[in-house]
Amino acid sequence: MLERGEVANSWRRERWDSFRLLTPNWQSRLPGLHYEGPDPDGYMTMGEVTEFIERFAKLSRAPVRTGTNVTSVRRTDDGYHVTTSQGEIGCRAVVVASGACNRPAVPPLSEAVPPDVEQLTPFDYREPGQLPDGGVLVVGASATGVQLAAELRRSGRPVILSVGEHVRLPRIYRGRDVLWWMDASGVWDQRYDEVDDLTRARRLPSPQLVGTPERTTLDLNALTSLGVELVGRWAAVRDGRALFSGGLRNVFALADLKLERLLDAFDEWARTRGVDAELGPPERFAPTRVPSSARLQLDLRGGEIRTIVWATGFRPDYTWLDVPVVDEKGRLRHDGGVVDSPGLYALGLPVLRRRRSTFINGIEDDAREVIGHLARHVAVRRGS
């Protein structure tokens, strides 16, 4: 196992200070390691996740070579040639487990932002005090965007949040964590070959959730109540002005409708399972409040906005992978983790084999199946 940094590197280096998992503690499951602390319904801090992964590395006796950066993987006649910062390796098979979120994805329109506005990505952001005083434009309303918008607003700054398509979820539904429902009702077990539109499922933004001791909901209504101003998707910069889409109402409608359908499915599951009595009564949430007049433009030279935070998602980095298996969008071409090149495998990608693959607790089943394939591949090669 080659790791360019340390064990749990992404958690150590690529998260902000107040970061907590949005999955509850009991869902942080790795093969043979379950959360056994006092607060199964709580959410791990960055330090706690790091410790958890370190514990797993020890427990599993994973042969990790830290400080070993992979700079190239090339095909050979009977496998792969791997070049690392610590030397060369020949091998029969390679598992790409380098993560799905190696780089913040920042749209090209960022280049048209006037130079006196500071720009940060979630990889640069640590805490509000690091930003200049004054207004912040947070771009993107998925998990990272809503969390940073709330934290920056609470620090006293005026915050504008640019909202595109998003996934709205309450933290708690009928007395249970909404991710308990995802797990228990089988939504997360839906397999990649059963999903209607797999490309879409794999591109689905993260849900508007935050893990806090209070277990509060952080949807757009909560942000509006905090005083965050909502604007539409950022479409262009023209003459130093940011132009936002006028389609805000529809992205609200789409998210509200999807939430309603999801809750209907949860209720239906609870009824057929006969577990209604163990749960609170069904609830429905108020529609997302539409601002009375959402701004369509914002002068970026006026001084109102001092900082832009790009919470526009993350992308993997395969610049080191010299095998033609990456599509024009920079995504690995694979079928459930079996990459389009014999002996090459992937783990840890969104909806790799099932919806839960996106999360820490999805690795166990995925790894078993993918490594099963790998073992057969190696055995066949050996036999021939």
- Per DSSP, helices labelled H in the chain are 9-13, 46-59, 143-154, 178-184, 198-203, 220-226, 248-273, 363-383
Selection from another protein, ligand FAD, none that 260 binds (CB < 5 to 8 A by kind) is: another protein
Nearer of residues 69 and 130 to ligand FAD, judged by Cβ: 69
Site membership for another protein, residue 246 (CB under 8 A): yes
| Number of chain positions touching ligand FAD (CB under 6 A) | 22
Site membership for ligand FAD, residue 22 (CB under 6 A): yes
Site string for ligand FAD, 331-350 (x = CB under 6 A): -----------------x--
Amino acid at the residue 87:
G
Task: Give all strands of the β-sheet with 229-231 in edge-to-edge order.
Answer: 118-120, 305-310, 135-139, 159-162, 229-231
99, 158, 282, 342: which one binds ligand FAD (CB under 6 A): 99
Phi (first) and psi of residue 61, to 5 degrees:
50, 40
Residues 310, 306: Cα–Cα separation, whole Å: 13
How long a stretch of residues is the chain? 384
Nearer of residues 21 and 152 to ligand FAD, judged by Cβ: 21
Which residues, including other chains, have CB under 8 Å from residue 340's CB and lie 6 or more apart?
325, 333, 334
Residues within window 210-239 making contact with another protein, judged by CB under 8 A: 232-233, 235-236, 238
For 135, left (φ over 0), alpha (ψ -120 to 50), or beta? beta
Nearer of residues 93 and 254 to another protein, judged by Cβ: 254
Rg of the chain on CA atoms, in Å? 22
Give me the residues that bind ligand FAD (CB under 6 A), please.
2-5, 9-10, 21-23, 69-70, 97-99, 101-102, 144, 314, 320, 348, 359-360
Give me the residues that bind another protein (CB under 8 A), please.
165, 232-233, 235-236, 238, 243, 245-247, 250, 253-254, 257, 260-261
